[in-house]
Amino acid sequence: MFTVCALYHFTRFDDPAALQGPLLDCCRSGAVTGTLLLADEGINGTVAGPRAGIDAVLAHIRALPGCAAIDWKLSTARERPFARMKVRLKREIVTMGQPDVDPRASVGHYVAPADWNALIRSPDVAVIDTRNAYETAIGTFQGAVEPQTDSFRDFPAWWEANRDRFHNKRIAMFCTGGIRCEKSTNWLLGQGVAEVYHLKGGILKYLEETPEDESAWEGDCFVFDGRVSVGHGLREGPHLLCHACRRPILPADRERPEYEHGVSCHHCTTENSENDKARFRERQRQIGLARSRGERHLHADIPEDPAPRKHPAP
């Protein structure tokens, strides 16, 4: 069993590049894999490994400038959800493309999971899912508005086109772990929205703390690792990943005629050209050859489709 740690923190790093090497060394020495992003505005990412390795990485991060109060969320995975460790330098730790957005200056009101249901059931509250369409397709909160964006960069334009729908409404926003809402609530406040709220700790914290029989969540939550989705209690969900388009699919979807492992699924079969599909087939052939030699192919970081899975017992 592997410990999975999702974390983020907005702070000021004067020289993120100087932090990259020591952080990568710490992760590797603890057999920790995953991805961490560093930028002038802070740190974000998800890593997995033995609990001792995760604890060492968290201790290292908490010692970074301004990170002593960093929050994180822990869950487990039966198989290692990442193949390798990457620490990347980025312009933003979550890309919104709005240079004036600064969650360190102001954000919406945090709402604890225990108080979330009461808020979103209020008739004067509009609930907005800030995640992308492929994420909301497998689960969201009851009654939530789904912007159907392809990227978080699209959210500001969506709001501008739809803001009249929310006149005189209080706005409650949520995302996977909370980081997108740090930026989206700051942005809405800058747009003159008077009352903005967001779910503290995101969907993951809600699913961890809220009993299923009291939950307003429907479906599963997409996660950006080899588990693909999680449900209540952060139990691994049933979803797999199409390696061509990286959208979540169910085990039964592999029986559909559009599905070809690593090449297409019912979501993307008409989106890619025959040349694209030929490239994907060659990639899968090379991955198979590397595996037969006991090697790991460069493009084999995404775990292979496992056998159909069921929800493990609580």
Q: Please state, in angstroms and rounded to a whole number, the distance separating the CA atoms of residues 195 and 197.
A: 7
Q: Residue 225 carries which DSSP code?
A: S
Q: If you write DSSP's letter for every residue of 153-220 in order, what string do you get?
A: GGHHHHHHHHGGGGTT-EEEEE-SSSHHHHHHHHHHHHTT-S-EEEETTHHHHHHHHS-GGG--EEE-
Q: Cβ distance 251 to 306 under 8 Å?
A: no
Burial state string for 67-99 with b = 16 or more CB within 10 A and e = fewer than 16: beebebbebbbeebbbeebebeeeebbbebebe
Instruction: Report which DSSP code applies to 4.
Output: E
Is 175 marked active-site? yes
Contact predicate 191/163, CB 8 Å: yes
Cα radius of gyration rounded to whole Å, the chain? 20
- Residue tagged active-site, from 26, 27, 67, 175: 175
Angle between helices 16-29 and 51-62 (to 10 degrees): 160
List the structure tokens of 89. Answer: 């330098």
Q: Phi first, then psi: what are they for 278, rounded to 5°?
A: -65, -40
Catalytic residues: 175
